[in-house]
Amino acid sequence: MSAEPSNTTDTLQLQGIGSDLCGSDASVGVSLAEAKPAKWSLPLWFTQGFDILAKLSTLAVLGLAYWQFHEAGVDKTRERSMALVTEWAEGGQADRLGLVNEYLSDAGNRAKKQIDAMAEDARDLAWKNAEIAIYGALAVPVTSEARALRRDLDQIFAFFTRAEICVSSGLCDAEVMRAYFLVEARSLTHELALYLELVHKAGFPTYGAGAEAFVTAVEN
């Protein structure tokens, strides 16, 4: 004859364990009806992994935004640089430099003819005096031709002052400016060194400093 199910709540008695832990009179009962499984949760490493991925995604988005902003900034600096290139070519700066070179070449040729007719031991001193006279005529102009050439030189050196400010402030691209203007700026400061020295002595000590600073800025 099979046993009928009991109407009372099944109870698991862990008397032996209770006696060992709490003394001989202790009894621990756990109702099967009331027993609930422990709350299940995702492993910590799994949730942390999702958090890291979310942060990486955010960084990726921020990185892309920075790259786009940087590229836009680079395009702007190149645009400003090319505007100066256009100004040099179409605004008359190259023509002004050509006129100055033409004047120096003609004056040098005239002086050479006179110096070649002198005794050989007098030529070195004669060349030094001729150079001072040629460049001095531009540094302290008297004739209308010299004044016009001095204005041309003033505009050329003013151009390189603006170019240096543009590069040093980060508004122009140094590589573009180096490619287009380094040769001209270096030539000005080197070939016209005596002219600059004479202008400084005439009371303009900072004249041409922008061109020299430009060479330094784009070379580094």
In this structure, is residue 13 part of a structural domain? no
d(C-alpha 188, C-alpha 93), whole Å: 13
pLDDT (tens digit, 9 = 90+) per residue, 57-71?
Answer: 444 444 444 334 344
pLDDT for the residue numbered 75: 82
Give the separation between CA 61 and CA 69, rounded to whole angstroms.
Answer: 12
Residue 89 CA to residue 100 CA, distance in Å, equals: 16
Residue 213 belongs to some domain of the structure: yes
pLDDT at residue 74, as a whole number: 62
Q: Is residue 181 part of a domain?
A: yes
Asked, for residue 69, whether it belongs to a domain, the answer is: no
Give the per-residue pLDDT at 140. 96
How many domains in the chain?
A: 1
Q: What is the pLDDT of residue 91?
A: 87
Whether 103 is covered by a domain: the verdict is: yes
Q: Which domain holds residue 126?
A: 74-219
Domain assignment present for residue 7? The answer is: no
pTM (whole model) above 0.75: no
Residue 46 resides in a domain: no
Long-range contacts formed by 170-175: CB under 8 A, 24+ apart:
170/77, 171/77, 171/80, 172/77, 172/80, 172/81, 172/84, 173/74, 173/77, 173/78, 173/80, 173/81, 174/217, 174/218
199 is a domain residue = yes
Model confidence over 118-128: pLDDT tens digits? 999 999 999 99
Regions in the chain scoring below 70 on pLDDT: 1-74
